[in-house]
Amino acid sequence: MERLFADIILPLALQPLTFEVGEEFYDCVAVGSGVSVPLGKNKIYTGIVCRLHHNTPPYKRIRQISGIVRSEPLASVGQLALWEWMAQYYMCTMGEIMRSALPSLLKPSAQNDDLFSQKVFSLGKEQMLRLGEDVRTEEALSVALEALLPRKKAQYAAMMEFCQKVGEEHIFDGSLPRSAMDASPMVVGKLLEAGLLATFSRERTPHYDTALLRHSATLTDSQQMVLDKISSSFSRYHTTLLHGITSSGKTELYIHLANSILQEGGSVLYLIPELALTEQLIGRLRKAFGDGLTVYHSAMTPRARTEMYIRLSRSEGGEIIVGTRSAILLPLHNLRLIIVDEEHDESFKQQDPAPRFSTRDVAVWMAHNLGCKTLLGSATPSLESFYNAYTGRYGYVWLGERYGEGVLPEVIVSNTIKSAQRGERKGHIGKELHDAIQEALANHQQVILFQNRRGFAPYLECPTCGWSARCPHCGVTLTYYKKGNKLRCNLCGHSIDSPTRCPSCHSGEPLPQGFGTEKIEEVVAEMFPEARVARLDGDVAASAGRMRSVIRSFERGETDILVGTRLITKGFDFSGVGVVGVLNADNLLSRPDFRAEERTFQTLVQIAGRAGRADNKGRTIIQTAQPDNHTIIQAARGDYMAMARSQLRDREAFGYPPFTRLVRLSLRHTSPELVWRGANTLSQRLREVLGRGVTDAHAPAVSHVADNYYMQILVRIERSESPTDTKDIIKECLRVFAKDPIYRNIAVTIDVDPQ
């Protein structure tokens, strides 16, 4: 007999390894099976079979798989196809993807077989029913049923119940928990005796409330028209971009689309950038879908996550799942629609650890290859998606009208230099903003103030010698927190008491410079003593409870002014906001990144969109020292097309995405000299093979974090070049580099399509 081998994915940064399949496993091993295998010195790992074959591997010691971890597959064929593509595209290993996709309890590892089997996850057993072996054909079954009909009515009814509950398509291969039958145990017992039904035991399926509500609001005429356009776009494109201004009812459209898929028994995946801030959205979805809505998030316990994974992998469809980026790796059957809500959001890109994937691009791949449709939605689409729609790769649907009486807010650009010259500036709030806030408060409207820096002041500086407080472990200034009089590093958390005398010249008294949310909160409270002020930023968000209470109190109208960082631009829908103020648009623009202008536009338009929802016209005031900056003007006008035109022109001229593709290599080591030399050597070697597309090695904007030094290299791949070939060349260079005795301790990470 020919020997059987299995290529097995292990949850390690390795490509699949080949093991031999012993004869005792021939019947139960298939592609997707979870198996246990020995690795190294007597360590047992869980692996997933990704290929079965008869090609004897060319090495001497071929080890055998030692057991079957679960009787059902750990990953579906569709999932494995996705993993394979992701590993190739994102230059990582299948193992790294398995590591993120599979809940920890489903991939135990241990020192020996006994310990391993103790760790294997089980939900307990349940009795299952299926058709008896002799009646698993259409003909045999109808003969048997006819025989029952005249005298054994109860047994006949039980058979009909069974057939109806497993569903017509699955009569011959489907099964049902015995407890799901209404027929009496005695009747079922008789059918088992007669061989019409058979029983087997399997792991219990986690219980969940399946009551799907499918309730949705009535669409307006223009929303209905857009819905029809999306449907017809779906018949022509795998992916469609829904470009709809803030508060136009995109969420209502998603609910309608999801409903129609669910009605047909298909599943829907609803992806959102962040869960922490979307309690409101989840509430709306619960209203629409009831307890049938599955919410997948990172704060779930390992057990809950595992149960959900098992439940979904057994479900045949009709599921609606809302989750953040890792939800895209869930086992979903009959998946018909993926919604990527706020598709422009950076959080859709996984930064660390590998796989460093873009959820949006994975969703697009899935639509192309796994037969579902993907809907990307945003008021401010990413330029990549917009360009893909523009060039006809995606369908494009535009919704340019707010729901109901809602009108877009009036946006005023307030020149901070002029107002400073006129002596109007009162602690970072100019006259225009001040008056607008005052008016809003008088009209019992709420106010949102946006400042993209947390803490009291971004840094502390000595007026005498210019010394500024820096983190000893990172290359950044320490943020000053007035509360507790502390200096803290926002990268590594390092914290010290703020010095009263300059440690450098010993004479000056260091002073806080610039302003963060904590300071704005204080200034505003002094300026408007009658107003109730709250703050929402990374420091508040560190506690989920505190964050929720800030949001709820604002929602209920118990807070008048909310001061916050970018957190508050994300998906909030508050009806009572009359004024939105952006305290300093300039620090958005100053990001050292080719996407700075696109991001500034997106942030400003999204934050402006928080004003004047429902039935009140709002006002947004953007304070800036660059009132003539074209991005600020475009954002103030809400002119996406103008922004897209000018940015795409620049991107093309300077060779940035979407006109090229980028791969970023990051090198890290505790020695700054070593990482510098290593990066230069690597960039030279890459350039020898790849030419001009490789940049010089350079330090990133933040190059020193938690005692590690960073250098990076960008590789630009022209649209005319094959990305696969270039990636192969990069991999080869990195393989050689990793073996170099001088550099092998430098950690290198690869980021494809970095954000």
Query: Interface with ligand ADP by CB under 6 A: which residues?
Result: 217-220, 223, 244, 246-252, 403, 573
- The 3-state secondary structure of 485-502, one letter per residue: CEEECCCCCCEEECCCCC
Q: Is 76 or 220 the residue whose CB approaches ligand ADP more closely? A: 220
Q: Is 410 or 573 the residue whose CB approaches ligand ADP more closely? A: 573
Exposure on the CB side of residue 123, measured as CA atoms within 13 A = 21
**Identified binder of Zn ion from the candidate list 51, 70, 136, 494, rule CB under 5 A:** 494
Choose the contact partner of 84 out of ligand ADP, Zn ion, none; CB within 5 to 8 A by kind: none
Short-list 730, 588, 738, CA closest to 662: 730
Choose the contact partner of 508 out of Zn ion, ligand ADP, none; CB within 5 to 8 A by kind: Zn ion
Report residue 168: phi and psi, to 5°: -55, -45
Choose the contact partner of 573 out of Zn ion, ligand ADP, none; CB within 5 to 8 A by kind: ligand ADP
Q: Which stretch binds Zn ion (CB under 5 A): 60-68, 331-339, 498-506, 717-725?
A: 498-506
3-state secondary structure of 670: coil
Cα-based distances in Å from 164 to 134, 198, 620: 19, 17, 58
Choose the contact partner of 491 out of Zn ion, ligand ADP, none; CB within 5 to 8 A by kind: Zn ion
Choose the contact partner of 474 out of ligand ADP, Zn ion, none; CB within 5 to 8 A by kind: Zn ion
Does 505 contact Zn ion by CB under 5 A? Answer: yes
Q: Is 390 or 467 the residue whose CB approaches Zn ion more closely? A: 467
CA–CA gap between residue 482 and residue 164 (Å, rounded): 67
CA–CA gap between residue 611 and residue 599 (Å, rounded): 19
Does 473 contact Zn ion by CB under 5 A? Answer: yes
Does 489 contact Zn ion by CB under 5 A? Answer: yes
Asked if 30 contacts 7 with a C-beta cutoff of 8 angstroms, the reply is no
Binding-residue pattern over the window 422 to 451 for Zn ion, x denoting contact by CB under 5 A: ------------------------------
Does 364 contact Zn ion by CB under 5 A? Answer: no
Does 478 contact Zn ion by CB under 5 A? Answer: no
3-state secondary structure of 468: strand
* Residues 666-704: b if buried by 16+ CB within 10 A, e if exposed: bbbbeebebbbbbbebbbebbbeebeebbbebebeeebb
Choose the contact partner of 306 out of Zn ion, ligand ADP, none; CB within 5 to 8 A by kind: none
Does 327 contact Zn ion by CB under 5 A? Answer: no
Q: Is 47 or 377 the residue whose CB approaches ligand ADP more closely? A: 377
Does 462 contact Zn ion by CB under 5 A? Answer: yes
Choose the contact partner of 382 out of Zn ion, ligand ADP, none; CB within 5 to 8 A by kind: none
Choose the contact partner of 248 out of Zn ion, ligand ADP, none; CB within 5 to 8 A by kind: ligand ADP
CB of 34 to Zn ion, least distance (A): 41
State which H helix or E strand residue 505 sits in.
none
Rg (CA), the chain: 30
CB of 249 to ligand ADP, least distance (A): 3
Q: Is 219 or 412 the residue whose CB approaches ligand ADP more closely? A: 219
Encoded tokens for 207: 């219980």
Q: Is 251 or 703 the residue whose CB approaches ligand ADP more closely? A: 251
Choose the contact partner of 370 out of ligand ADP, Zn ion, none; CB within 5 to 8 A by kind: none
**Nearest 10 degrees: CA dihedral of 201, 202, 207, 209?**
-80
Asked if 219 contacts 249 with a C-beta cutoff of 8 angstroms, the reply is yes
Q: Which stretch binds Zn ion (CB under 5 A): 272-280, 346-354, 459-467, 479-487?
A: 459-467
Choose the contact partner of 464 out of Zn ion, ligand ADP, none; CB within 5 to 8 A by kind: Zn ion
Please, what is the end-to-end C-alpha distance for the chain in angstroms? 52
Does 412 contact Zn ion by CB under 5 A? Answer: no
CB of 479 to Zn ion, least distance (A): 10
Burial group, residue 591, by CB count within 10 angstroms (0-12, 13-18, 19+): middle
Q: Which stretch binds Zn ion (CB under 5 A): 23-31, 199-207, 447-455, 487-495?
A: 487-495
Asked if 315 contacts 208 with a C-beta cutoff of 8 angstroms, the reply is no
Does 492 contact Zn ion by CB under 5 A? Answer: yes
CA dihedral sign, ordered 525, 528, 529, 532: negative
Q: Which stretch binds Zn ion (CB under 5 A): 28-36, 208-216, 381-389, 454-462?
A: 454-462
E-strand stretches of 409-542: 410-415, 446-450, 459-461, 479-481, 486-488, 495-497, 511-513, 533-536
Q: Is 28 or 702 the residue whose CB approaches Zn ion more closely? A: 702
Q: Identify the residue whose tokens are 């947390």.
A: 454
CA dihedral sign, ordered 267, 269, 275, 277: negative
CB of 462 to Zn ion, least distance (A): 3
Q: Is 219 or 295 the residue whose CB approaches ligand ADP more closely? A: 219
CB of 483 to ligand ADP, least distance (A): 35
Does 502 contact Zn ion by CB under 5 A? Answer: yes
CB of 36 to ligand ADP, least distance (A): 47
Sheet hosting strand 577-582, strand order edge to edge: 410-415, 619-624, 577-582, 446-450, 561-564, 533-536
Choose the contact partner of 246 out of ligand ADP, Zn ion, none; CB within 5 to 8 A by kind: ligand ADP
Encoded tokens for 95: 């193992």
Q: Identify the residue whose tokens are 């109208």.
A: 557
State which H helix or E strand residue 92 sits in.
none
Helix boundaries (H) for 271-394: 279-289, 302-314, 359-369, 383-390
Choose the contact partner of 570 out of Zn ion, ligand ADP, none; CB within 5 to 8 A by kind: none
Q: Is 258 or 487 the residue whose CB approaches ligand ADP more closely? A: 258
**Which region holds residue 358: left if phi is over 0, alpha if psi is between -120 and 50, else beta?**
beta
CB of 272 to ligand ADP, least distance (A): 11
CB of 350 to Zn ion, least distance (A): 23
Residues touching Zn ion, count (CB under 5 A): 15
CB of 706 to Zn ion, least distance (A): 6
Choose the contact partner of 462 out of ligand ADP, Zn ion, none; CB within 5 to 8 A by kind: Zn ion
* Residues 69-99: b if buried by 16+ CB within 10 A, e if exposed: bbeebbbbebbbbbbbbbbebbbbbbbbbbb
Choose the contact partner of 489 out of ligand ADP, Zn ion, none; CB within 5 to 8 A by kind: Zn ion
Site of interaction with Zn ion (CB under 5 A): 462, 464-465, 467, 471, 473-474, 489, 491-492, 494, 502, 504-505, 508
